[in-house]
Structure formats: structure tokens, C-alpha cells
Chains A and B, each alone.
Chain A
Amino acid sequence: MTRFEVENLRLAYGHNTVIEDISFRVTQGEIVGLIGPNGSGKSTMIKALSRVLNPQSGRILLDGNNISGIPRSELARSMGVVPQTPILPSSFTAFEIVLMGRNPHLGLLRYESEQDMAITWQAMARTATQSLAERRVGELSGGEIQRIVIARVLAQQPETILLDEPTANLDISHQLEILDLIKMLCRENSLTVVITLHDLNLASQYCDRLILIHNGLVHAHGTPEEVINQANIKDVYGTGECVYTHPVNGLPIVLLKAGSGRNALPEDTINPRNKETEKE
């Protein structure tokens, strides 16, 4: 079943066009990764998919309905977003922030019920943030805030989750923890996930399909093996030979070698000792 249908999307900030013309589909229950260099428009795509940014042209269908016609509260019940660097009011407690995930489910006059509290608590349990519940978010670390915001999106109980670089502030163990959790939720509850990642290795490990965005267009689209290959990576990132195969599960991995980027020096001057001898 198709969840998202993106048709000929064109996105811009004023006169500065970021996405020229992009179309793709996302099926229910799959994890789709948006990858591409800095400034390629990955985050802009998340803004458009969550209707924070209106497209210049083209349209986005969610379950067959154009999202521009869906009321915000209804949209928020079916779609939750984890922003890249969430700004949180520092004096609220972590529990209060996670509880805000229940907002789209409550009317103007309704307070959170015991059930809302239980759902919130469960969301915190799944992200291992219960011990932070009474702490003010101003006192939390970047990684803790990231997990609080993921707990909030779980409390929202959406069918689709959009994540913008959810692992940017996390160490490797928390990166795995969060992405494993997302993958598990996706498999268990058949959630649909659209995730932007700049870490190509994580994208390769966790996504069912990848969309490589470059110069406002889809440069490549398909399974990790189809997208992360020597030619695509060189075309888009301009790096030298760097794509290998994971020794355990055979998925593509990217291993960088010093001196293979755009600013690479000629081979013989890389070793600083050579320079010194030249001077003398």
C-alpha cells in the first residue's frame, strides 16, 4: 500500500530553489532513507512532507489525499516528526515535553487522561528516558534531548514517522539503539519511516530503500546496494575509491582514506616529512 506519493515536487526558499523536480513513493512499513551531500535538500524534503514548507509546484499525497488539504491536528495524528536540532523550552520537564506528543489527540477542553499518561510513560520506557522524566530539559545533553524527542513522537502514535538526522548528536551506541528501535517499531507496528541521514553506513545498514538527492534531483533510487556504489558516490560527493562490502552482512560500506577528497594534495607531498627534506 502506498503511503506517500511525491509528484514532481519543486521546493524553494524565496528565489533559491533547493529541490528542482523530485518524485518518489513510500510504501507502508518500509524505511526510506534520504541521502545526499550537505545542502542537497534532505531537511527541506522533511519540511515539505510535514507541511511546514509549501511546495512551489507538484504535490504530496498521504494515503491518496493531498496533504495541503489535511487539517494540522489530523495530519499530526497520522504523522510525527523528529526535527534535526529541536528547540525545547528549557524550564519544562522531560515528561512534560513527551506529554506534548498527545496534543493532536486532545480537544480544546480536554486534559490528558490516565491513558495519555500511560502512553507517554511507555514511550519513555522504549527510549530509556524514564529516569529523565522529572529533569528540566535545559539540564539535558544533546543525546538525551534527541531521545526525549523520539519518545515524544512515539507518544504521538503516528502511522508515519519522519526523522531528520536523528543520530547527529549521538555516540555510536546510542545511534544503534535509536535506529534499532525505529527499525523494530517499523517491523512490529508496520510504521512507515522516512529518514534523512548523512552517515552513508547507517543508511546502508538500516534503510530498505535509499533516495540519493543531488542538485535538486533524484540521482539514484533503490536498495542500498543499488544506490551506494562507486560511481554514484564519486559523482555526488567527488570522493575517490571508498565503497566496500560489509564483511558480515554484505551491505555496502564507505571507508574513507585521507587525501582522497577534492582538496587532495599530489601523492608525494602528503607525507609532511617529504616537505621538510625539500626545504633543507
Chain B
Amino acid sequence: MTEQVMNFRPHWRRRVYAIAGMIIAAVLVVVLATTIGSVKIPFLTTFRVLVSQLPFIDINPDWVNATETIITDIRLPRVILAGLVGAALAIAGATYQGLFRNPLADPYLIGAAQGAALGAVIGFLLPIEFSAMGFGVIPMLAFTGAVLSVAVVYILARVGKTVPVTTLILAGVALGALWGSIYSYLIITSGERIHGIIFWVMGSFSLSDWSEVAVVLPYVLIGVIVIMLYSRSLNVMQLDEEQAKQLGINVEKVKLILLAAATLITAAAVSFVGTIGFVGIIIPHAVRLIWGPDHRFLLPLSVLSGAIFLIIADLVARTILAPTEIPIGIITAVCGVPFFLYLLRRRKGIVYF
């Protein structure tokens, strides 16, 4: 009998190998994306510069200082931020999809994006400058807008002691539409600032530096850890809520914790770089199509795939029409959708969600 039980292990082994493989791929993509840019730097040099930054490793520098500055102060923070945002949006999307048992869910479904955009647009139009906790005016207001928007949706959707998922989605879509119409009005009346605003809404990493990474990282790290802790609960919640309760899940508590974690990392991710689309909906689906629906693998694989995908998308965005940069939201759609449709076609006829 144990022998037959063992037959189910290979499944898991395949997924563990996938995680290991994706970690290696992520490291390679980081090096690759750091190598490519307007100044030509050989791949190996980049690799050695990056390795020399690691603690306890001494490499005799045979490169000029400018090279190191370009790599570590200009390109690397941008690459890392892209990776963080991709990871954040992908795991938030996977969490929302699991929580709502709805394949159409993405991190923006219940008003986070519209709230963030409204906050950001107000930030663009405000004549003041300030910063707090590492956030400037626009990121601060975008972050606050996203969190407040979801909090209001959650409170509005409350029925007694429970928050039904469908009510949550409907309240989110309704409020999102309201925020959307307000910021659309603000945009058309914004005069010459309209270009900056539209660039923000479509997303861009063009002004990234280490301070932004330092602000975003803790949110993403803590959020990812919290969500991963509840990955088995998320599996059980794929049954209906009644069965999940009967299998020992405190459904309302888990729902609140996961919503809060996913919303915080979404808000942190979009606050600096804008509401980048498609990553949060397409990456979890792609991972599910390839490796199956078990959240214990779906979540970490989404983190890695999201990071890799957004680093590559940003690489394309800044190189393909250099020196002009394309908003990354356009690249994620143009690159992501054909790949996703290919996966979808390949698995035609097999239920996967």
C-alpha cells in the first residue's frame, strides 16, 4: 500500500524541481536584464560585478568604476523593483483568484487599482511636495488610495458577521467604477500634466532606485510569507465555504488575513510604478495550466514566474525603441497575451481552474 502511496510523490517532486528551476532562471534573468542597456557591458563582467557585491566574496575588480555604477546603481535597482512588483502582482492575483474561486479575479478586481490611480492623480494635481516613510506624494496617495478603497469595499460588503464573496466582488466593481469616473474627469482637466499621469496609469520603472526597492520590499516579503502560510487553507477553500468550515477552516478570518495581505502587497507594488495590468491575471493562470492548482506550488511558482515575466517585459520596454521607453503595461499585454493564449489552446478541453 505504501508503495502505491509513493506513486503520488513524483507529482510533488516535479513541482519541487520546478521551483528550483525557476529560482535559477530568475537569477539568470536578473543578470541578463542587468547586462543589456544603452551602454554595452559583457554578460560575464556583469555577473562578476554582481557576485562581487555579495558578502564574503572578494573578486579583484578589473572593470572601470562607471561600469559598476551603471550596474549596481542604475540597472540593478530597476531590475529588482520590476521583479518585486511582478512577484507581488502575481501572488496577489493568485490569492484573489483562489479566495474568490473566480478565474476572472486579478489584484485590481475589488478596487485597489482604481483607488491607487485616483490617489496618484490627486497626487499629480496637488501643488505640494512631502514625503513620509520613504513615500513621496504620489506613491503615498496611491498606496493610501488602494488600501482605503479595498477597506471601504470590505466594510460595505459585510453582512452581519460574514463577508460573502459575491457581495465583495460586486461592491468592488461598483466602487472601482466610481473611482474610475472621478479620476478620468480629473485626467481630462489636468492640462499639460496629462502625459505623466497616463504614463503612471500604464506603469513604468523609469525612475526606479534603491530607496524604492527598500520601501516596497518589506511589504512584498511579509505579504508573501503570510499568504504562503495559508496556502493549504486556500486549497480547502476551493471547496465551498460550508465545506471549508466543516474541515476546520475559520473562513472569515482567513479571508480577512488574505485580503489584507494581498491588498497591501498590491498597493505597495503599484504605488511607485503604476497599475501594471495582465501580470496579476495571466501569470497565475499560466502557472495553473502548467503545474496544476495546488496553492502550495501555485503561489511560490507565481512569485517566481511573475518576477521573471515583469523583468523581461521591462527589459523589452526600455530597449526595443531605445532611447524611447514604452509603458510596461503595453508590453505585458503584447508579450503576455499570445503566450497565454498558446497555453490555453494547448490545454483545450481540459478543465484546469
Check A136–B232 contact: CB distance below 8 A: no
Closest-by-CB residue of B relative to A137 is B351
CB-contacts of A41-85 with B (<8 A): 47, 50-52, 71-77, 79-81, 83
Contact of A91 among B229, B296, B351 (CB under 8 A): B351
Check A104–B248 contact: CB distance below 8 A: yes
CB-contacts of B304-353 with A (<8 A): 350-353
A87, A100, A117, A138 — most chain B CB neighbours (10 Å): A100
Check B247–A52 contact: CB distance below 8 A: no
Is B236 engaged at the interface, CB distance under 8 Å to the other chain? Answer: yes
Check A100–B235 contact: CB distance below 8 A: yes
CB-contacts of B172-229 with A (<8 A): 229
Q: Please measure, in the bound complex, the distance between the C-alpha atom of A96 and the C-alpha atom of B352, giving whole angstroms.
A: 14
Q: Which residues of A contact B250 (CB under 8 A)?
A: 71-73
Q: Please measure, in the bound complex, the distance between the C-alpha atom of A262 and the C-alpha atom of B150, giving whole angstroms.
A: 54
Q: Which residues of A contact B350 (CB under 8 A)?
A: 136
Check B238–A133 contact: CB distance below 8 A: no
Check B242–A103 contact: CB distance below 8 A: no
Q: Which residues of A contact B2 (CB under 8 A)?
A: 114, 118
Is B4 engaged at the interface, CB distance under 8 Å to the other chain? Answer: yes
Q: Which residues of B contact A76 (CB under 8 A)?
A: 246-248
Check B1–A91 contact: CB distance below 8 A: no
Q: Please measure, in the bound complex, the distance between the C-alpha atom of A16 and the C-alpha atom of B231, giving whole angstroms.
A: 37
Q: Mark B290-304, 1 if CB is under 8 A from A, else 0.
A: 001110100000000
Is A130 engaged at the interface, CB distance under 8 Å to the other chain? Answer: yes
Q: Which residues of B contact A118 (CB under 8 A)?
A: 1-2, 5
Check B293–A92 contact: CB distance below 8 A: yes
A133 → chain B closest CB, angstroms:
7
Contact of A108 among B8, B230, B239, B240 (CB under 8 A): B230
Is A106 engaged at the interface, CB distance under 8 Å to the other chain? Answer: yes
Q: Which residues of B contact A114 (CB under 8 A)?
A: 2, 5
Q: Please measure, in the bound complex, the distance between the C-alpha atom of A75 and the C-alpha atom of B249, giving whole angstroms.
A: 10
Closest-by-CB residue of A relative to B161 is A54
Check A50–B246 contact: CB distance below 8 A: yes
Q: Please measure, in the bound complex, the distance between the C-alpha atom of A71 and the C-alpha atom of B248, giving whole angstroms.
A: 8
Q: Which residues of B contact A75 (CB under 8 A)?
A: 248
Q: Please measure, in the bound complex, the distance between the C-alpha atom of A88 and the C-alpha atom of B242, giving whole angstroms.
A: 12
Check A87–B248 contact: CB distance below 8 A: no
Check B5–A117 contact: CB distance below 8 A: yes
**A87 and B243 in contact (CB under 8 A), knowing A100-B236, A108-B229, A109-B229?**
yes
Q: Please measure, in the bound complex, the distance between the C-alpha atom of A156 and the C-alpha atom of B248, giving whole angstroms.
A: 10
Is A121 engaged at the interface, CB distance under 8 Å to the other chain? Answer: yes
Q: Mark A119-135, 1 if CB is under 8 A from B, else 0.
A: 01110010000100110
Is B255 engaged at the interface, CB distance under 8 Å to the other chain? Answer: no
Q: Which residues of A contact B240 (CB under 8 A)?
A: 86-87
Closest-by-CB residue of B relative to A76 is B248
Is B48 engaged at the interface, CB distance under 8 Å to the other chain? Answer: no
Q: Which residues of B contact A81 (CB under 8 A)?
A: 243, 246
Contact of A92 among B232, B238, B249 (CB under 8 A): B238
Check B8–A103 contact: CB distance below 8 A: no
Q: Which residues of B contact A51 (CB under 8 A)?
A: 245
The count of residues in chain A whose C-beta lies closer than 8 Å to any C-beta of chain B is 47
Q: Which residues of B contact A80 (CB under 8 A)?
A: 246
Closest-by-CB residue of A relative to B230 is A108
CB-contacts of B1-28 with A (<8 A): 1-2, 4-5, 8
Is A36 engaged at the interface, CB distance under 8 Å to the other chain? Answer: no
Check B247–A103 contact: CB distance below 8 A: yes
Q: Which residues of A contact B75 (CB under 8 A)?
A: none
Q: Please measure, in the bound complex, the distance between the C-alpha atom of A37 and the C-alpha atom of B294, giving whole angstroms.
A: 40
Q: Please measure, in the bound complex, the distance between the C-alpha atom of A88 and the C-alpha atom of B5, giving whole angstroms.
A: 22
Q: Which residues of A contact B248 (CB under 8 A)?
A: 72-77, 103-104
CB-contacts of A180-198 with B (<8 A): none
A96 → chain B closest CB, angstroms:
7
Check A90–B239 contact: CB distance below 8 A: no
Contact of A122 among B1, B232, B293 (CB under 8 A): B1
Q: Which residues of B contact A122 (CB under 8 A)?
A: 1
Check A130–B239 contact: CB distance below 8 A: no
Q: Please measure, in the bound complex, the distance between the C-alpha atom of A120 and the C-alpha atom of B233, giving whole angstroms.
A: 18
Is A252 engaged at the interface, CB distance under 8 Å to the other chain? Answer: no
A selection of 13 A-B contacts at a CB cut-off of 8 Å is: A50-B245, A73-B249, A74-B248, A86-B243, A87-B240, A89-B238, A90-B353, A92-B293, A96-B294, A100-B235, A111-B296, A117-B8, A139-B351
- Given contacts A86-B239, A96-B294, 14 further A-B pairs with CB under 8 A are A72-B250, A79-B246, A87-B239, A89-B293, A89-B353, A92-B293, A97-B239, A100-B247, A101-B247, A103-B233, A103-B247, A104-B248, A111-B296, A133-B8
The interface of chain A, by Cβ under 8 A from chain B, is 47, 50-52, 71-77, 79-81, 83, 86-92, 95-97, 100-101, 103-104, 106, 108-109, 111, 114, 117-118, 120-122, 125, 130, 133-134, 136, 138-139, 156
The 5 lowest CB-CB distance pairs between A and B, nearest first, are A76-B248, A104-B248, A89-B238, A73-B248, A138-B351
